[in-house]
Amino acid sequence: MDELLIQILLALAEFFFEALLELGGEALLDVLSRVAADVFKPAEPPHPVFSGLVWGFLGAVVGATSLAIFPHPLFHPSKFHGISLILSPIAVGTAMSALGAMLRKRGKQVVQIESFPYAFAFAFAMALVRFGWAS
């Protein structure tokens, strides 16, 4: 019984720290995309599928970069290994979507990463790279 409780706690810790890592990467790109949005104003918005692929690619790049800093998994595999591959992107996408909603309420302009689909694509690609290549 104690072993199961420890495994559950490790799975929750893995989810929590993975989500924090992904949220940090997204916050950095959020700031950079705000700067880029001020500098480069496109005549028409990009296609949503293309934008999703770009955010996914950027998530994979940030995930690969994070492997240089944290080359090992944040937690050792447990019975629930890999659960953060789905739960973390959902949590991060929800957090970024809530941030976008809060900014819209205050009359601020939002960027793409502050919506659920793009934030999820970024976080999922980042988690997938870390899941696949963390040694």
List the one residue out of 118, 91, 81, 94 whose CA is nearest residue 21: 91
Among positive and negative, which fits the CA dihedral 7, 131, 29, 95? negative
Task: Judge whether 95 and 68 are in contact, CB under 8 Å.
Answer: no
Residues 74-132 have pLDDT tens digits of: 767 667 677 778 888 999 999 999 999 999 999 988 889 999 999 999 999 999 998 88
Do 89 and 127 contact (CB within 8 A), yes or no?
Answer: yes
- DSSP class of residue 45? P
Q: What does the pLDDT look like over 34-46, one tens digit per residue?
A: 777 766 677 677 8
